Structure 1
């Protein structure tokens, strides 16, 4: 545990290159290629981190100005994902979550119940968060670890079921996103797609980057779109002209730089991914097609993802004021909204209209879930020694205390044996369904490969 904690505390920009170098050597890639791959991953993560922090630094005062201008005042304070992650990893469940989830991943690969090799170790804190809250309500460490394990398994299945969309619509071949926060919004995106597809007229509405470029050419350019949305947020916040212009330019830079940093990161991922596929094929499809599981940061710069996320900042504040029963003031989590929409954008096939509808649904629920879980989140934070902000008695966060998946898991444990039993059976059924789908997909890939080889001969 000391070694694991030491590596995790190095931070993603150091931890991820180390993981990729070690993985490359295990896969018998030359030392020079493994080191280069690791360095490119590290450079990409640093570039993404700097750019995302730039976005957060720019949007935080804007969000604060919007809150002050409209006089929002609620009893539950939003402390944001960094505080939530610190709390989650500071609990007893947090101490076990990495080895438990790595073991689950290996077991699922061996039993062909996943195709994802998850190297996004840091974001396992999402599962620890769920488990930590369950430990508080059940007073059982083992039930907390079990809840974290279920959260991990379900997230892996969602990563599998979205991997084809990630490849097609986010242009990330052989990549999957087993990110707890991003995965939690996927079921809602599936629901929105199913409903919209059944409504004549509405199902024909399509607003993707191609449509925007065709009809509104200036909005089709990421830099222009970022500048316009940044300026719009500044106007809504009522800040001075100088600050509006600075926000506009910063958002233009963010939407331009993030995709390029993600591309650089992928240059390091591809050699590892290709080698894994070679090994899988050489073993007669024993594992089928393998996808590398990465942080959703790899596609946080998609124009639809960023555009919807920035539009949802003022919208979510309005929702906070009008949603009945809400006591949660979204603030610190607002700048992390792009991570909520990475997989939603993929599932909605890059369509801004459906992604925005999903955002309205999920973030309205996030306010109520954040309010509902605030007492447990506060108790968990206090138990780890977390210092509540002065004058605050209740805290929560959109990520991960405002997500549907952890909420469902936590609520199940309130019903004790019956709830846990039903949840376990549902998870098992989900895993077996995913295994059947994976076997079908592997068979189709093998058949396509045979036809291609026959045609070539």
Structure 2
């Protein structure tokens, strides 16, 4: 566990280049190309993390100001996914989940049950979270391992299902997202998306970055959209003029820089993806294989960030009016773009449809987060984490998706 924890502590920006380098060698890409791809991907992920950290650091104070201004007094504190990932890795069987998920992935690939090779090992913590939550509620470690394994199987199947959207909308051939944050609401998103496309009037509503750019010129460009949204968030938070302007520029920077960081990452991925296709064609005919990555690579699409930012005040407003909600959204508000990236892709970039579906999703996120909080609080106490002062329970928005919630509830019955 000490060795495993050291490897995990390196983070995705170091782990993924090592994995890609080894994967490239296995696929026959050669030492030089594999090394270059691995380092380039590491640079891309580092850049993405820097932009996400900018988003988090600037958005957090604005969200906190909004919640104080609205007088929210909710007993469950949103501690954010970084803290929850550490708690999940502290689960007694967390170390086993890496080899278990890799074996499941290998078996499914061998039996042609999936085309996705999940190299996003860092995010296996999402499966460990499910196992830890089931263990906390049922008392059974074995049942927790089974639940986590089922979640991994579902993630691989849904990654295959959504791969065409990743390829066609985000322009990422051979890439899929076995990432439960992005996949977790698909059973709800799919029918909602179909419904919006068939309701007269609503099905004609369409606004995407391209049409907005054509209609509003410079004010429709991603950086201008980020500036406007940032200023609006600052005003809603009651910030002073200087802070409002700083937030506006920060959000403009996020909208402008994120696509460039994703482009760097894709520069490293393309040679490995091509080598994988050649390897599969040589050894397994024309069989496809997808490289499973963190949904963070989708944040280069302006509509994803735009929808995510617009949902911040909507989520805070929902926290006030939603019956049954007890969680104070804060640390994980910056995760909203991850939650809506596939919603945006399935809506073909339609910001209006994405916002409607996203609003429904965020209402459910708050309710699921409230419902999962007792298990998460117990997990934290077991891991030796101190509950923040003023909170009776802890929770987070990142893990409060439909698939995670339903698996935890079902397996906690046994």
- Is 1:257 aligned to residue 257 of structure 2? yes
Comparing 406-415 with 59-68, which one deviates more in the overlay?
A: 406-415
CA contact (8 A) 1:226 1:248 kept: yes
Give the total of aligned pairs: 414
2: CA distance between counterparts of 1:150 and 1:284? 27
2: CA distance between counterparts of 1:112 and 1:331? 42
2:407 aligns to what?
Answer: 409
CA contact (8 A) 1:162 1:346 kept: no
Matching of residues 326-345 of structure 1 within 5 Å: 326-345=325-344
Q: Unaligned regions of 5+ residues in structure 2, if any? A: none
2:375 aligns to what?
Answer: 376
Q: Over residues 146-202 of structure 1, what are the superposed CA-to-partner deviations in whole Å (9 max), with x where a residue is unaligned?
A: 000111111111111110011111111111111111110222221211111221221
2: CA distance between counterparts of 1:2 and 1:67? 40
- Is 1:194 aligned to residue 194 of structure 2? yes
1:367 aligns to what?
Answer: 366
2: CA distance between counterparts of 1:4 and 1:113? 29
Matching of residues 43-54 of structure 1 within 5 Å: 43-54=43-54
> Greater Rg, structure 1 or structure 2?
1
Comparing 116-125 with 383-392, which one deviates more in the overlay?
A: 383-392
1:319 aligns to what?
Answer: 318
CA contact (8 A) 2:89 2:125 kept: yes
- Is 1:346 aligned to residue 345 of structure 2? yes
Matching of residues 199-210 of structure 1 within 5 Å: 199-210=199-210
2:41 aligns to what?
Answer: 41
2:107 aligns to what?
Answer: 107
TM-score in terms of structure 2 length: 0.97
Q: Over residues 350-381 of structure 1, what are the superposed CA-to-partner deviations in whole Å (9 max), with x where a residue is unaligned?
A: 11122111111111011111111111110111
Distance apart, 1:3 and its partner CA: 4.1
2: CA distance between counterparts of 1:86 and 1:408? 22
Distance apart, 1:24 and its partner CA: 1.3
2: CA distance between counterparts of 1:85 and 1:318? 27
SS at 1:187's partner residue? helix
- Is 1:306 aligned to residue 305 of structure 2? yes
Matching of residues 84-233 of structure 1 within 5 Å: 84-233=84-233
CA contact (8 A) 2:114 2:160 kept: yes
1:64 aligns to what?
Answer: 64
2: CA distance between counterparts of 1:284 and 1:18? 25
SS at 2:93's partner residue? helix
2: CA distance between counterparts of 1:297 and 1:171? 14
Q: Over residues 303-339 of structure 1, what are the superposed CA-to-partner deviations in whole Å (9 max), with x where a residue is unaligned?
A: 1111111111111111011111111111111122111
CA contact (8 A) 1:65 1:237 kept: yes
Matching of residues 415-454 of structure 1 within 5 Å: 415-416=413-414
Comparing 100-109 with 186-195, which one deviates more in the overlay?
A: 186-195
1: CA distance between counterparts of 2:7 and 2:372? 31
CA contact (8 A) 2:377 2:393 kept: yes
SS at 1:92's partner residue? coil
